[in-house]
Amino acid sequence: MHFQLIVQKYSLGMLLAAPTPVLGGFLHTTYRLDTAEGSFAAKVLNPAVMARPEAYANMLRAEKIARALSAVVPAVCAIEADGSPLVKIGDEYVMLYPWLTSKPLFPPKLTPRHAAVVGDLLAKIHTYALEPGQSPSDKPAPNDWNALCALAEERDADAVWLPGLQDALPELRSMEREAAAALEIPAKRTVAGHRDFDPKNVLWKGLEPSIIDWEAAGPVDPDAELLDALLSWADDGRGDLSREIGEALLAAYRARRSDPEADWDALCAASAKGPLDWLAYNIRRASGIGTSGDSERHVGESEVQKTLRALARRRNELAEVRRWLEG
């Protein structure tokens, strides 16, 4: 990446130190830039993602949603250059943000008080109505798990994660069928959502949050996003769910918004589609398809194993969350 060109494009003055990579991103790469005008986070977008025909427009739409929602929640928006939040530097796209000293929180530091703040934030996000003409994205295509497994076997028959994938195939195919059927049921209401609202994307200073990484923002069924939030925020980091965290989040959310007619059977089945697609993407990435180097391939390998473990727990976790939702 041409960091000096980024500094020039955004009129940041001179670099005061060598840019340093920021750990934690699973898709894009972020660097800290210390300049004469202050400190910034430069997100270099994954070239494989940006090569998709719809990617540029989706990024602009997501940033527009983040800017609109910044009136009601602490959304961190990209800094514009030449009137755009998305800038091409050489062959890569960059988004620039102010550097924040706040940090994400995970168990055991994540408390019910934080969860209550999160539930209230999510409910505020879901009060934002979409503009006329906006609608949910086309239903995602089903994954061919046999073909993905065959690809992995062909690329690296000794991959450490391959046996786990092979063992999981019957359950993956079952989840895919159930999700596809559930996604045929039209959403009763569609709002703008963050669509990646998990602990890594909320930064904290005390009990003051900042919501980052809005690149996936778009139309969503609010109850579907609530379900995903409960699964991710209540994860205690040891393979179980924290009822105390989950119920604190849910109570705060329902104090502002509630839908007693939600079809939780369909929503639970459809909720597997996100992690299934993430698994499929990372199988390709771990197999060297559409990657920019070994480091990205290693991220894919790690995410395959992590996602397989999460999917193995999913049915039990959904049953637990259903008890909170219907209790």
Q: Which domains, and CATH codes, for the chain?
A: 3-99 (3.30.200.20), 104-326 (3.90.1200.10)
Give CA–CA dist 229/231, Å, rounded: 5
| 201 neighbors 223 (Cβ within 8 angstroms) | no
pLDDT band (50, 70, 90) for residue 180:
very high
Please give the pLDDT value at position 90.
Answer: 87
Long-range own/partner contacts, residues 88-93 (CB < 8 A, 24 or more apart): 89/1, 89/2, 89/5, 89/6, 89/9, 90/1, 90/2, 90/5, 91/47, 92/1, 92/44, 92/45, 92/47, 92/50, 93/44, 93/45, 93/50, 93/56, 93/59
Asked if residue 86 lies in contact with residue 60, where contact means CB atoms within 8 angstroms, the answer is yes
What pLDDT does residue 187 have?
84
- pLDDT given at position 98: 96
* pLDDT value, residue 47: 86
* Other CB atoms within 10 A of residue 14 CB: 10
Q: What is the pLDDT of residues 68-123, one digit of tens each?
A: 999 999 999 999 999 999 999 988 999 999 999 999 999 999 999 999 999 999 99
The C-alpha angle 182, 186, 187, rounded to 5 degrees, equals 100
Asked whether residue 34 carries a pLDDT value surpassing 60, the answer given is: yes
pLDDT, tens digit, for every residue of 121-154? Answer: 999 999 886 665 555 556 788 999 999 999 999 9
Is the pLDDT confidence value at 290 over 90?
no
* Contact predicate 105/112, CB 8 Å: no
